[in-house]
Structure 1
Amino acid sequence: MGEVFAGRYELVDPIGRGGVGAVWRAWDHRRRRYVAAKVLQQSDAHTLLRFVREQALRIEHPHVLAPASWAADDDKVLFTMDLVSGGSLAHVIGDYGPLPPRFVCLLLDQLLSGLSTVHAEGVVHRDIKPANILMEATGKGRPHLRLSDFGISMRKGEPRLTETNYVVGTPGYFAPEQMMGAEPDFPADLFAVGLVALYLLQGQKPDSQALIEYFAAHGTPGAPQGVPEPMWQVLAGLLQPDPHARFRTATGARKALAAAVEMLPDEGAEDEPVEVFDQIGPLPAGFGPEGPEGTDGAAGALNGPQAPVQASGRTSAPQPSPQPSQQPQGAGEQPYAPHPAMSETGSFHLAPPPQQSPPPHQGVQPPAPPVPLQGSPYADGSPADFAQAATSAVPYGSPPTRAYTAQHPQAPRTAAPPAAVPQPSPVKRPGPPPKVAIPVLLVALICFAVGIWALTQA
C-alpha cells in the first residue's frame, strides 16, 4: 500500500509535477474516492505563503479546478482537488494538431465561462496556458475542460509576493502590460486566452512578441492562416496590445464569440472527430476502483505504519496491473454538436459532464455522494507538454496516446457487521501539529499586516 498522509490521504502514484510540489493520485479514506494531491516540496516562508493563498481559493464552477481541502503531516503539507484524467490541451494538440474551428469555439466558451467566475471573485489567474487547461477524458463525447493551477494567482489589491521588476508567469503567454510590471488585472488573462485560441487553431505555440510588434506598427492584421475571419474578429479583440482596447470582461468576449460562431461554416461529415484520451494510466497493483484492495476501507490503511512522503516525485509503488480495465464511455454522453444552443447570456449552453449513477446501497452505512467523471491535470510533468516547446510546428506523427485505462471511482460497498460485534466508537482525528499550524498562522498574520500597511500608505 502507499503512504498515508495525515491519517487520511493514501498516496498511490505520482502523476505530475507542479511549480512547488509533486502531484499524486491519492485515495481519500474519508470521502472514499480518488483525488489529485499536490504535496509541497519546500517549506520556506515565501513558498508556504503561496501555498496558503492557493489552498484558500474556493471557486465552485464546472470549468474551474480549484483546491477542495488541505492537510498537514509533520513538516509537509498538501491540498487536494478533483482528479482529471484527460491531460491538458497540449495533449490534444499532440494527438491531432490544429483543431476544427467549431470545436475550438466550444473550448473557448468553456474557458471564458470559468474565467468569468474567477474574475467575479476578484482573482487574476496570471498563468493561463495550454498546460494549465485540463480535459476530462470524455472520449468522442462533448469535451469538458477545467482551468487549473492557481499557484501564482492573486486577488486584486493583494500585496505581491515578488520583488519589484520581477515578472511571474510563463514566457510566451504574457500580456504586454505584464512585461512592463503593471499591476495584475483581468485583461491580462484575456490576452492569454487569445494566445491559447491561436495555439488550438494553428497547432503550434504563437509568436506573441511578433504579434504584439505587428499590432503596434500596422494595426490589426488580417486573419492568420487557419483562422476563420469571424473568429479572428473576436481573437483580435483579445490580442490588442493596449489593454484599454481589449475586451474588458470574459463575459463580453463570450457574447462576441457566440455571435461569431453562427457565421462559421458547418463541419463536414468527413471531418475526424476529436477524441480526448485518458492520460493517467491504470492504477498500480493493490488498488482498485473502490480503493486499496485487501482492506475493509479506511481502517486497514489508517492503522498501518506510515512511511514518509516522497516529495521528489518518485515512488516505490508496485508496477501497474497487467490488465487495466477500460474506462466506460457513459451511456448518456452527447457528441459534440455543431450548432450549440444559446444561453440567456448569448453564449453556448454548456451541459454538465456525463455522470455515472452510484451503485445501489448495501449494508448499514449511508451511501457516499455520487462522484463526477474524473480526469487528470498535471501537464507540468507530462512528456507531451508541447506548450513549452519553441515556436514551431507541432509534430503530428507522434503515436496516439493509450486507450482508456482509468476507472470511475465509486463508493465501496461494505457488508453489515455481525450483530454480536460492537461498533467501534468514532476516532477523533487531531488537527495539524503545532509545528505546522503555528508557522502557517504567523505567515498569514504577516500577510495581513503587510496588506494593512499597504492600505495606509495609499
Structure 2
Amino acid sequence: MGEVFAGRYELVDPIGRGGAGAVWRAWDHRRKRYVAAKVLQQSDAHALLRFVREQALRIDHPHVLAPTSWAADDDQVMFAMDLVRGGSLAHLIGDYGALPPRLVCGLLDQLLAGLTAVHAEDVVHRDIKPANILLDATGTGRPHLRLSDFGIAMRKGEPRLTDTAYVVGTPGYFAPEQMLGAEPDFPADLYAVGLVGLYLLTGRKPDSQALLTAYEHGVPDAPDPVPEPLWQVLGGLLQPDPHARFRTATGARKALAGALELLDAGVTLPLGRTIDTVEVLDQIGPLPQGYGPDGPRTPASPGAAHEPAAPPLPSAEASTTGSFHLAPPTPVRPPAPHPEPRPSAPVTGTPSPTPLLPAAAFPAPGAHPAEPFGPAGGSATPARRGGPPVVVAVPVLALALLCFAVGVWALTQS
C-alpha cells in the first residue's frame, strides 16, 4: 500500500507535477473516496505562505476547483481537492485541434461563471491558462469545466510575496499591465480569458506581442477562423488598456450570450466533420495494483490466490522474556501398563524456566527408565536393576581398598 499522509490520505500514484509540487491521486480514509492531493515541500517561507493562501480558499462553485482540506506531516504540507479526470483544455486541443465557435462559447461561459465566484471573494487568480482549466470525464456529454490551481492567487489588498519588479504568472498569458508591475486586479484575469478563447478557436497559443501591435491602430479585424460576433467579445477582453476592457466577468458573460444567439448551430471542422460537442475521456488511467473503485483492497486480494500457501507454523507459547518455545508434541502411550509412580515431593521455591527442547525429550517423573525418550524412538537400551550401575561400583570398591591399605601401613609404622 502507499504512504499514508497525516494518518488520513493514502498516496496512490502521481498524476501531475507543477512548479510548487507534485499532484497525487490519493485515497481519503475519512471520506472513503479518491481525491487529488497536492504535496509541497516546506522549502521556503514564500512557498509556505502561498500554500496557506491556497488552502484557505473555500469557494463552493461547480466550475471552481478549490481546496477542500489540508494537512501537514514532517517537512511536507498538502491540500486535497476533488479528483478531476478529464485532463485540461490543453489535452482537449491536443486531441481535437481547433474547436467549433459554439462549443467555445459554452466553455468560456463556464469559465466566466467560475471566475465570477472567485472575484466575488475579492480573489484575483493571476494564472488563468489552458493547463489550469480542467475537465470532468463526461464522455460524449456536455463538457464540464473547472478552474483550478490557485497557487499564486491573492486577495485584493493583501501584501505581495514577490518584489513589484518580478512578474508572477505564465508567460504568454500576462495582461499588459502585469508586465508594467501593476497591482493584481480582475481585468488582468479577463485578459487571460480572451487569450484562452483565441487558443480554443485557433488550436494554437496566441501571440500576445502581435496582438499588442495590432491594437496600436484600434481594434483589429477578427482573425481567421473567429466569427465576427464572437470576436466582438474577445476583442473587448483583449483590450491592452484595462480601463477599456470588460470590468467584470458577469459583463463578459452577458456579451457572450448575445454573441451565441448570432452563431449558427453547426460549424465544419478542418477534418470535414460537423460537431457541436467533443468526447472528454478519462486522462488519469487505471488504478495501480492493490486498489479498486472502493479504495485499497484488503490483504486477501485476488492476486493472492495464485501465490502458494505458506506451510503451517508450529504452535507456540510466549515466554515471559518475549521469546517463543515450541509446544510439546503429543506423548506416545507405552505399549504395556506399568505400576503407578510414587507421588513426587511438592515443588518449592522458584519454578525452573520452560525448557527450549520439547518436554517429551525428558522422561516424566516416575516413568520407567527403560521407556523410549520420546515418540521419535531415541535410545531404548534398558538400564540394570537392583543397585548402582557397574561403571559406578568398581571405582568405589577400589577407593575403599586403597583407604584400607593406607590404614594398615600407618599402624605398622606406629
The TM-score, its normalising length taken from structure 2, stands at 0.70
Unaligned runs of 5+ in 1: 297-317, 319-458
Asked whether the equivalents of residues 20 and 42 of structure 1 are also in contact (C-alpha less than 8 Å), the reply is no
Taking every aligned residue pair, what percent have the same amino acid on both sides?
Answer: 80
Report 1:171-186 matches (<5 A): 171-186=171-186
1:287 to 286, 291, 296: 291
Q: Deviating runs (4+, > 6 A) in structure 1? A: none
The secondary structure found in structure 2 opposite 1:245 is coil
Structure 1 match to 2:219: 220
TM-superposed CA distance for 1:42, in Å, is 3.7
Q: Distance in 2 between matches of 1:75 and 1:268?
A: 53
RMSD over aligned Cα, in angstroms? 1.4
Asked whether the equivalents of residues 22 and 41 of structure 1 are also in contact (C-alpha less than 8 Å), the reply is no
Describe the superposition over 1:234-290 as per-residue Cα deviations: whole angstroms up to 9, x where unpaired. 100000000000000000000000011000012169514411111100000000000
- AA of the residue aligned to 1:171: P
Asked whether the equivalents of residues 85 and 278 of structure 1 are also in contact (C-alpha less than 8 Å), the reply is yes
Q: Distance in 2 between matches of 1:295 and 1:108?
A: 47
Describe the superposition over 1:34-93 as per-residue Cα deviations: whole angstroms up to 9, x where unpaired. 000000124311111111111111100000000000011122111000000100000000
Report 1:174-213 matches (<5 A): 174-213=174-213
- AA of the residue aligned to 1:275: E
The secondary structure found in structure 1 opposite 2:243 is helix
The secondary structure found in structure 1 opposite 2:91 is helix
Structure 1 match to 2:113: 113
Structure 2 match to 1:94: 94
Asked whether the equivalents of residues 15 and 284 of structure 2 are also in contact (C-alpha less than 8 Å), the reply is yes
Q: Distance in 2 between matches of 1:41 and 1:206?
A: 34
Q: Distance in 1 between matches of 2:175 and 2:165?
A: 15
Structure 2 match to 1:60: 60
Q: Distance in 1 between matches of 2:19 and 2:56?
A: 17
The secondary structure found in structure 2 opposite 1:210 is helix
Report 1:257-336 matches (<5 A): 257-267=256-266, 270-272=273-275, 273-294=277-298
Unaligned runs of 5+ in 2: 304-414
- AA of the residue aligned to 2:233: V
Report 1:120-139 matches (<5 A): 120-139=120-139
Indicate how the Cα distance of structure 1 residues 42 and 72 shifts in structure 2: closer, same or farther if over 3 A, else same: closer
TM-superposed CA distance for 1:18, in Å, is 1.7
Q: Distance in 2 between matches of 1:180 and 1:205?
A: 22
- AA of the residue aligned to 2:212: I
**Number of paired residues?**
296
Structure 1 match to 2:234: 235
Describe the superposition over 1:185-222 as per-residue Cα deviations: whole angstroms up to 9, x where unpaired. 00000000000000000000000111012102x11011
Describe the superposition over 1:109-132 as per-residue Cα deviations: whole angstroms up to 9, x where unpaired. 000000001000000000000000
- AA of the residue aligned to 1:267: G
Asked whether the equivalents of residues 104 and 200 of structure 1 are also in contact (C-alpha less than 8 Å), the reply is yes
Q: Distance in 2 between matches of 1:293 and 1:43?
A: 35
Describe the superposition over 1:367-407 as per-residue Cα deviations: whole angstroms up to 9, x where unpaired. xxxxxxxxxxxxxxxxxxxxxxxxxxxxxxxxxxxxxxxxx
Asked whether the equivalents of residues 42 and 77 of structure 2 are also in contact (C-alpha less than 8 Å), the reply is no
- AA of the residue aligned to 2:205: K
The secondary structure found in structure 2 opposite 1:34 is strand
Structure 1 match to 2:397: none
Describe the superposition over 1:316-346 as per-residue Cα deviations: whole angstroms up to 9, x where unpaired. xx9xxxxxxxxxxxxxxxxxxxxxxxxxxxx
Asked whether the equivalents of residues 66 and 81 of structure 1 are also in contact (C-alpha less than 8 Å), the reply is yes
> Structure with the greater relative contact order (CA < 8 A, sep ≥ 6): 1 or 2?
1
The secondary structure found in structure 2 opposite 1:244 is coil
Q: Distance in 2 between matches of 1:288 and 1:62?
A: 27
Q: Distance in 1 between matches of 2:274 and 2:51?
A: 44
- AA of the residue aligned to 2:290: G
Indicate how the Cα distance of structure 1 residues 268 and 89 shifts in structure 2: closer, same or farther if over 3 A, else same: closer
The secondary structure found in structure 2 opposite 1:243 is coil
Asked whether the equivalents of residues 41 and 75 of structure 2 are also in contact (C-alpha less than 8 Å), the reply is no
Structure 2 match to 1:48: 48
Describe the superposition over 1:5-49 as per-residue Cα deviations: whole angstroms up to 9, x where unpaired. 111000000000122111000000000000000001243111111
Describe the superposition over 1:396-420 as per-residue Cα deviations: whole angstroms up to 9, x where unpaired. xxxxxxxxxxxxxxxxxxxxxxxxx
Q: Distance in 2 between matches of 1:193 and 1:125?
A: 11
TM-superposed CA distance for 1:295, in Å, is 5.8
Indicate how the Cα distance of structure 1 residues 209 and 268 shifts in structure 2: closer, same or farther if over 3 A, else same: closer
Q: Distance in 2 between matches of 1:3 and 1:114?
A: 34
The secondary structure found in structure 1 opposite 2:166 is coil
Asked whether the equivalents of residues 234 and 256 of structure 1 are also in contact (C-alpha less than 8 Å), the reply is yes
Q: Distance in 2 between matches of 1:145 and 1:260?
A: 20
Report 1:362-377 matches (<5 A): none
Structure 2 match to 1:71: 71
- AA of the residue aligned to 1:9: Y
Structure 2 match to 1:149: 149
Report 1:346-365 matches (<5 A): none
Report 1:439-458 matches (<5 A): none
Q: Distance in 2 between matches of 1:88 and 1:35?
A: 17
Indicate how the Cα distance of structure 1 residues 118 and 295 shifts in structure 2: closer, same or farther if over 3 A, else same: farther
Asked whether the equivalents of residues 58 and 67 of structure 2 are also in contact (C-alpha less than 8 Å), the reply is yes
